[in-house]
Amino acid sequence: MTPIARTALACAVLALSACKPQTPASDTAAKPGAAATAAPAAAPVSTTPEAAVAGDDNLNAVLWMQRSAEYRAAAEQTYRAAADRLDAALKEPNWDALVPEERGNAATGLKPAVVMDVDETVLDNSPYQARLIRSGKEYDELSWDQWVAEKKAKPIPGVVDFAKAADAKGITVLYVTNRAVHLTDATLANLRSAGLPVADNSVLLGLGTVVKDCEQNGSEKNCRRKLVGQQYRVLMQFGDQLGDFVQVVANTPDGRAQLLQQYHDWFGERWWMLPNPSYGGWEPALFNNDVAQPRAARHQAKMQALELAQ
């Protein structure tokens, strides 16, 4: 995840500070580029050997996602392995990829589905990240909306084959995204142009989707997953953030580690994680979710979080 409006990020972060100090921000509050860079754009390279060249915290991450064979291999093997388990998931009546509190009441009879995040899980927004790096800017709502409106995001390697295989087996592909609802039409058009199956407009649940009797906290997806659970038996979930799978109550390094440990056995079976070193809830967790602080301060916090050889 995605894969979302700047206001949602602000609300989720404020939930950790002034607004709701007892409710930490979600993984999915982190948007493309929202806190991904931590230094000004690189200055022109000097010919003097002692010259210091300013770096961008996101440069290697974006280049790896765009240029490395390793990233493509990691994404393709994830989707290929998931496809190999679809038949087993279909045959097992008790197989469900939603945590118990998010499942529907019906034990049987629900249509099968897979739930997929959009940004960096289904669609590749690295060109948007690259623009931020080249211009020395950070995420903002206007530039993000403009990028989405272009409908140019390419599919993540392996996702089209997987989604088509699921669709051919009668499994509905659902897209639960933190792109705001006003970006629905552009997102659906982009999904279709990328070759993804889109049964109808209802399969996209964006940030701002109203779910009866469920109050959404920031950009958390638990309400929308509950809505899905009322209508479908979810065989698998796909995402690039922990919050794409389950509610992140404490967005701290320890809280995230505990959540991973709790659901460790679900990954590679019911849950499938895509690599995304460019942005995510893991990053603000390193500096108390204070994304409003200057780049230099965020950069310093990340430097201090490094584990050094003893």
Domain count, the chain: 1
pLDDT of amino acid 107:
57
pLDDT tens readout for residues 273-306: 999 999 999 999 999 999 999 999 999 999 999 9
pLDDT of amino acid 139:
94
- Determine, yes or no, domain membership for 252: yes
The mean pLDDT value of the chain amounts to 87
- Determine, yes or no, domain membership for 249: yes
- Determine, yes or no, domain membership for 49: no
pLDDT of 13 higher than 90: no
- Determine, yes or no, domain membership for 310: no
pLDDT tens readout for residues 224-250: 999 999 999 999 999 999 999 999 999
- Determine, yes or no, domain membership for 50: no
pLDDT of 73 higher than 70: yes
For the chain, what percentages of helix, strand and coil (3-state, to nearest 5) are there?
45, 10, 45
Six-digit token pair at 143? 């530039």
Q: What percent of the chain has pLDDT over 70?
A: 81
Q: How far apart are the first and last CA of the chain?
A: 35
Work out the burial of residue 197: count CB atoms within 10 Å of its CB; fewer than 13 is exposed, 13-18 middle, 19 or more buried.
Answer: middle
Q: Give ∠ CA 131-35-62 in degrees, rounded to 5.
A: 45
According to DSSP, residue 198 is labeled: -
Q: Averaged over 125-133, what is the pLDDT?
A: 98
pLDDT tens readout for residues 135-175: 999 999 999 999 999 999 999 999 999 999 999 999 999 99
Q: Averaged over 259-274, what is the pLDDT?
A: 97
Task: Compute the distance between CA of residue 26 and CA of residue 20 in angstroms, rounded to an integer.
Answer: 13
Span of 82-86, 124-128, 216-220 with lowest mean pLDDT: 216-220
pLDDT of 42 higher than 60: no
- Determine, yes or no, domain membership for 47: no
Work out the burial of residue 120: count CB atoms within 10 Å of its CB; fewer than 13 is exposed, 13-18 middle, 19 or more buried.
Answer: buried
pLDDT of amino acid 31:
59
b vs e for 16-37, b when ≥16 Cβ sit within 10 Å of the residue's Cβ?
A: beeeeeebbbbbbbbbbbbbbb
CATH number for the domain spanning 142: value is 3.40.50.1000
By residue range, what is the domain housing residue 95?
Answer: 6-39+55-305
- Determine, yes or no, domain membership for 129: yes
Pinpoint the alpha helices (H) of the chain.
Answer: 6-14, 59-67, 69-84, 86-91, 126-135, 141-150, 159-168, 184-193, 222-231, 253-262, 295-305
Nearest Cα to Cα of residue 248 among 209, 270, 222, 274: 222
pLDDT band at residue 220 using 50, 70 and 90 as cut-offs: very high
pLDDT of amino acid 1:
57
Sign for the CA dihedral angle at 164, 148, 174, 26 comes to positive
pTM of the shown model: 0.85
pLDDT of 20 higher than 50: no
| 46 vs 189, more confident | 189
Q: Averaged over 192-216, what is the pLDDT?
A: 95
